[in-house]
Amino acid sequence: MTDTYEKYLEHPAGHILAVEDAMKIYKEMAECIDKCTMPEKMRFWNDCIKRAAEYAKIRNDWELMTAEEKMAADEGRSLVHDGFIMSVNVLSRIAEKEGVDASWRSELGEDRKRIGDFACFISYVTGISNR
């Protein structure tokens, strides 16, 4: 069965991140980091973007893997996902430390699938922005 955005919106697992919500969170996240004065902030931003792309690639490849390939790759996928979550949390902590509103992080929530969806969205935005 072919995947579509409409099928995603009806996914029974819930915790859906609609494109409109992802756009809002991403915009707030980017504006938040722009307001921060920490000299190394772009290093942490770039790390987040790289981790998002790495996780999005794994998510895309997952569709094409056999059950055996998925079993072999599952631990690595989880580690990459954990790394992306960590990088999002670091950006949020940088902003909070500087007194910059980081409410985008609570809007994103704690659900791993939703955060993984956000990584895919970030990778999408980065990809279309760099043409």
In a domain, 3, yes or no: no
Q: How many Å apart are CA 96 and CA 99, to the nearest integer? A: 5
In a domain, 81, yes or no: yes
Q: Give the DSSP letter string of 54-101.
A: HHHHHHHHHTT--HHHHHHHHHHHHHHHHHHHHHHHHHHHHHHHTT--
pLDDT of residue 2: 81
In a domain, 117, yes or no: yes
Count of domains for the chain: 1
- pLDDT tens by residue, the chain, 131 residues: 688 888 888 888 778 899 999 999 999 999 999 999 999 999 999 999 999 999 999 999 998 999 999 999 999 999 999 999 999 999 999 999 999 999 999 999 999 999 999 999 999 999 999 88
Residue 36 domain boundaries = 16-129
Question: Which two structure tokens, joined as six digits, stand for 39?
Answer: 């000299």
In a domain, 11, yes or no: no
pLDDT of residue 95: 97
In a domain, 9, yes or no: no
In a domain, 7, yes or no: no
